[in-house]
A and B are shown apart, each in its own frame.
Chain A
Amino acid sequence: MTAFVNHFSFEFRTGIRNKQLLFMNYLFPLGFYLMMGFIMPSINPLFLETLIPALVVFAILATTLLGLPDPLVKAREDGIFRSYKINGIPASSILTIPALTTMLHLVIVTAIITVTAPFLFDAPSPVNWLNYALAFLAMAVACAGISVLIGVVSSSTRMTVLWSQLIFIPSMLLGGLMIPYNMLPDAAGKISQLLPATQAMNAFNGLAMGAADYAPWGAPWGSVIVLVLSGALAFGLAIYLFNWDRRNPTQRGHPLMALLILLPYVVGIFLL
């Protein structure tokens, strides 16, 4: 327990101390929130209805996908995991503790957005706070899991950027953050259901913001289940595929196994 507390405390402080992580955890999501809050309602007044969930989902995407994988890859390249292995630090701690501390940073950012948006932009607050917290947790677990998995399977920091952007950019375009789901063409709508952002927007709006008809397929609890399952699957795969050392040629499993995290989303398309 002492080891966990020490590790968690160190990782949390790193998220503030390290300039790159401070930017990804706080400055980027909060700066984007302020910018969108001031600009978007004048372009599209309907954006206000989904401002809080959209920018919370954006914060989760940015902080996890753009902030979590890179330090994992760099630590492996720098031989830090070798040192951890020698000193008995388990792979599960190496992967879950940075994810948990990132989620704690996200709780702070989400609280700032949720509390200030009604005052600054006259955005509607959640109507069901418990469901709001559950939807947040489900999305945070899903994105943290995917990010950790990207960190594990990426062969270099360059590949990390590629994999992260493969999820981040479509999420921004099709995930319902900027363009509501019902305005997307049918094919794009189906594809967007493979993205955690779409499922999260459905869960937030359907369960917490009082917009049960947000997505035509409904089933906001189904979206929560898809997110939680994909997060759990991603963490499991990350621990299974974890490699301590870039110089070690023996790798358990093939990196393409990471694509299995799409399974809950694909099943979701057919079942929900």
Chain B
Amino acid sequence: MTDSVIIVRDFRKTYGDLVAVDGISFEVERGEIFGLLGPNGAGKTSTLESLEGLRAPNGGSLQVAGVDPTREPRKLRNVIGVQLQTSGLPESITVDEAMKFFCAYHGVDPRFDLLDRLGLAEKRKAQYHQLSTGQQRRLSLALALAHNPSVLFLDEPTAGLDVATRVELHNIMREQQAEGTSIILATHDMSEAEEMSDRIAILLHGKVVTTGTPMEVTATGAGLTKVSVRTVGSSLSDPGVTFPAVSQRVSKDEYSIYFSTDIGPTVSAIIAHIQAKQDKLIDLRVERPSLEDRFLEITTTGDVQ
């Protein structure tokens, strides 16, 4: 039996004649990081905003931690935390005031420890407009976490962050996940989605075109696996040498690079050929298609396998 915290069933959202979301369904389990991906206008924001209670659906049903976002907005406030993409705070509010202000409305004690943790200890007296973009996003995250929500919505959480803060934010996400918090991650950063998400859904034209683990989604594509080989001798330099399942060969920086549709036979044949020519292998790298490759394949060709 699954432990679904977010249940989206046949959800539909329209704006006049424009169908932004066209009957999508998915579930997010407790303690799961779920990546919601898609190009601009795919329906991500409408889906997120409806789950956050900011929009009313035009069809289907939504449930967040057992709460209907449209019918029970007060209950929803205490079970969700939202890091918005836009500012969301008055310019002249200080970091400390913001923490006290939001926690007071949630009925919890201010979590100043989160400010320290997110590198805002030195900025607690600074006004919001005096913070850098990265600091503003960190404050937004601290406020989203302060009341210990069971569902966390992160919209482009690492945009504008430096590497160290990005790593810290990922660590916090993993800690929250370990504590059972479900996280919906909306991002354009495919490497982040691939690294952090347990499962992802790709939206296109208001529909979920594919869903699964990042590995499953990338595996279903027609993408070619890249095999880069470097040897001591010149056993691979003859362009006439062919290997099974290889569709293309290029040379770059002393590497022979093969694009394979079936990695097993290709690698076996390359190694056998090197041995047969009494050459010596220096380096062999296999790179499967990334989530970004697969995302581009889906969003540009609409190809879903």
Contacts and interface: CB of A to CB of B under 8 A. Distances in A.
A10 interface: yes
Interface string A3-26: 101110010011001100000000
B105 A87 contact: yes
A89 B105 contact: yes
Nearest to A10: B97
Contact of A3 (B84, B93, B104): B104
A86 B52 contact: yes
Contacts of B87: 78-80, 83
B74 interface: yes
A80 B128 CA distance: 12
Interface of B: 15-16, 52-56, 74, 77-78, 80, 82, 84, 86-93, 97, 100-102, 104-107, 127, 143
Interface residues on A, range: 20 to 34
B160 to A, nearest CB: 16
A80 B104 CA distance: 17
Interface string A127-143: 00000000000000000
Nearest to A17: B92
Contact of B89 (A6, A17, A80, A88): A80
B104 A2 contact: yes
A87 B102 contact: yes
Given A10-B97, A78-B87, A83-B88, A3 B80 contact: no
A18 B91 CA distance: 9
Interface stretch (A104-112, A145-153, A198-206, A242-250): A242-250
Given A7-B101, A14-B92, A79 B84 contact: yes
Contacts of A7: 101, 104-105
Given A86-B52, A88-B77, A18 B89 contact: no
Given A86-B53, A245-B54, A6 B77 contact: no
Nearest to B97: A10
Given A13-B92, A89-B105, 17 more contacts: A3-B101, A3-B104, A6-B101, A7-B105, A13-B97, A14-B90, A18-B91, A18-B92, A79-B86, A79-B88, A80-B87, A83-B89, A86-B82, A86-B84, A87-B77, A88-B78, A245-B54
